[in-house]
């Protein structure tokens, strides 16, 4: 302990310096460059110059409104589905997992160990037009004959849900696991039904996990373009698709930078509103 006490003033800063420098130079400063780039005009042949070109923002919003809307709708849908689907399972692991908890948790994160692009390609196979899933759904008349799932919004949302599910399940599990089961017993001893005890005790105590999970799922999902590319069609493209193609194919850096900044800004505003609605102590908790 003395080691940590003696140079009390300087030690924490010395410990932090290398990591913070890295984050400062390669995360914070680049955000500044993103704004700088977004206000440039010009083209790849004659170079880009800083001209306070605010028009980039207007044309991004005007020209790609559909893509922006789809990004947030798809991400929102995937987040809600991921929450509903994974809550019962994380509850089951936390309260009934016993000594298998760690192993079951490993199953939850297992998809992360198969390269993202490869597991999305696997969904391409599963949802393919003559695959088992589509044929079953046609048989059940849930999809009209000749109908398809691949290249639709449904496939994109399904892909996003699957790919970001562990981001939802892990924080959920952590908050459920910390709940003292005697609190739930106490509620039941006081004549609360199981369902009421869940609504009044378990669920409120798991809220930090719900909040963390929703954010960790929604944010990457809103910027995703892999699922829309591999499972969707041009009519299901999200803003990530546009940013990616403008940066990497069309070399229209200012427009792409403006869109990235708008995406980030919308997410920050949504997170702040959300934090306000659920209480900010749940956010950093």
Q: Which stretch binds another protein (CB under 8 A): 9-17, 62-70, 141-149, 273-281?
A: 9-17
From residue 258, how far is each of 61, 73, 261 by CA, in Å? 9, 21, 5
- Please identify which residue in 171, 213, 232, 240 interacts with another protein, judged by CB under 8 A: 240
What residues between 104 and 163 interact with another protein by CB under 8 A?
Answer: 104, 106-119, 121-126, 128, 162
The pair of three-digit structure tokens given for residue 216, joined into one six-digit string: 């960790």
CB atoms near residue 270 (< 10 Å): 17
Alpha-carbon span 86 to 156, nearest angstrom: 19
Distance CA 267, CA 91 (A): 29
CB 94 within 8 A of CB 177: yes
Instruction: Provide the mask over 206-235, with x wherever binding to another protein is found by CB under 8 A and - wherever it is not.
Output: ---------xx--xx-xxxxx---x-----
For residue 40, which phi and psi values (nearest 5 degrees)? Answer: -95, 160
Half-sphere CA count of 150, side-chain side, radius 13 A: 20
Identify which range of 56-64, 134-142, 201-209, 239-247 contacts another protein by CB under 8 A.
239-247
CA dist., res. 89 & res. 84, Å (int): 10
Sole binder of another protein in the list 96, 135, 200, 276 (CB under 8 A): 96
Considering only residues 161 through 200, tell me which ones interact with another protein, judged by CB under 8 A.
Answer: 162, 165, 191, 193
CB of 208 to another protein, least distance (A): 14
Residue appearing with tokens 């949302």: 157
Stretch 263-282: interaction string toward another protein, x if CB under 8 A: xx--x---x-----------
**At closest approach, how far in Å is the CB of 44 from another protein?**
11
Residue of 145, 248, 249, 277 interacting with another protein (CB under 8 A): 248
Q: Nearest approach, Cβ of 46 to another protein (angstroms)? A: 15
CB of 259 to another protein, least distance (A): 9
Distances (CA, A) of 176 to 88, 180, 183: 11, 9, 12
Radius of gyration of the chain (CA): 23
Site for another protein in 34-63 (CB under 8 A): 34, 36-37
Question: To the nearest whole angstrom, how small is the minimum distance from the Cβ of residue 122 to another protein?
Answer: 4
């Amino acid at each position: 302990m003395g080691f940590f006490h003696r140079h009390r003033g300087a030690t924490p800063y010395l410990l932090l310096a290398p990591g913070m420098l890295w984050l400062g130079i390669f995360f914070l400063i680049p955000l500044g460059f993103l704004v700088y780039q977004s206000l440039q005009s010009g083209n790849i042949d004659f170079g880009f110059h800083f001209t306070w070109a605010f028009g980039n923002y207007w044309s991004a919003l005007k020209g790609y409104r559909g893509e922006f809307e789809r990004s947030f709708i798809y991400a929102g849908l995937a987040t809600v589905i991921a929450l509903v689907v994974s809550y019962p399972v994380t509850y089951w692991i936390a309260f009934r997992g016993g000594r298998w908890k760690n192993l079951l948790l490993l199953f939850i994160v297992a998809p992360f160990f198969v390269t993202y692009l490869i597991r999305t390609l696997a969904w391409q196979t599963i949802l393919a037009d003559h695959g088992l899933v589509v044929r079953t759904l046609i048989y059940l008349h849930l999809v009209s004959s000749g109908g398809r799932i691949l290249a639709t919004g449904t496939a994109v949302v399904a892909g996003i849900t699957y790919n970001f599910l562990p981001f939802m399940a892990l924080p959920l599990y952590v908050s459920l696991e910390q709940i003292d089961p005697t609190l739930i017993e106490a509620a039941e001893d006081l004549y609360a039904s199981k369902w009421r005890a869940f609504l009044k005790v378990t669920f409120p105590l798991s809220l930090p996990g719900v909040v963390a999970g929703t954010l960790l799922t929604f944010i990457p999902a809103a910027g995703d373009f892999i699922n829309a590319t591999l499972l969707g069609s041009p009519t299901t493209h999200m803003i990530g698709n546009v940013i990616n193609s403008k940066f990497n194919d069309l070399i229209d850096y200012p427009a792409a930078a403006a869109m990235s900044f708008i995406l980030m800004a919308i997410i920050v505003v949504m997170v702040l509103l959300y934090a306000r609605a659920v209480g900010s102590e749940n956010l950093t908790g």
